[in-house]
Structure 1
Amino acid sequence: MFKKHQIYKTDNYNMLSVEVQGKTLVVREISDQWGEECHTFVSRPQLMHWAENRFRAEDFAGREDELVEIMARFREV
């Protein structure tokens, strides 16, 4: 059984979760724009590096609280 962490879910078409599969971390990102994307990481630092590049502060201008919450959830994985 894999442990699944939901990072965010705005609706059934826009969500991101992380599954911990042993030492492997699998990010499943579903968006109404791009469909489903999977990213596989072998370490938490690698995952955090991806997350910091994927969720940039300039993309969250005026919604900084949302960015802080998303990054906190990544750190809990």
Structure 2
Amino acid sequence: MFKKVQIYKTDKYNMLNVEIQGKTLIVREISDQWGEECHTFVSRPEMLHWAGNRFKPENFKGREEELAAIMEAFRSV
């Protein structure tokens, strides 16, 4: 049994979920551009480091609240 946490969902083709399977964290990112990408992490700090690199502040100019919500969702996992 695993727990699934939704980080964001803009529509049925653009979303990011984290599945918690014991100590393993699996990030599933689905986008209309790239399809589904899956990233597996063995620790929460490793996942947060990836999220910090994946969601850079310069890519969210004028959308800082969106970035803050995404990062807060990752921290709450």
Q: TM-score, normalised by structure 1?
A: 0.99
| RMSD over aligned Cα atoms | 0.3
Residue 51 of structure 2 corresponds to which residue in structure 1?
51
Which residue matches 1:42?
42
Specify every segment of 5 or more residues in structure 1 that has no aligned partner in the other structure, as ranges: none
Query: What corresponds to 1:18 in structure 2?
Result: 18
Gaps of at least 5 residues in structure 2 are: none
Whole-angstrom distance in 2 between the partners of 1:48 and 1:69? 14
| One-letter code aligned to 2:61 | A
Q: How many percent of aligned residue pairs carry the same amino acid?
A: 75
Q: CA deviation at 1:50?
A: 0.1
CA distance in 2, matches of 1:62, 1:75: 22
Misfit runs of 4+, over 4 Å:
none
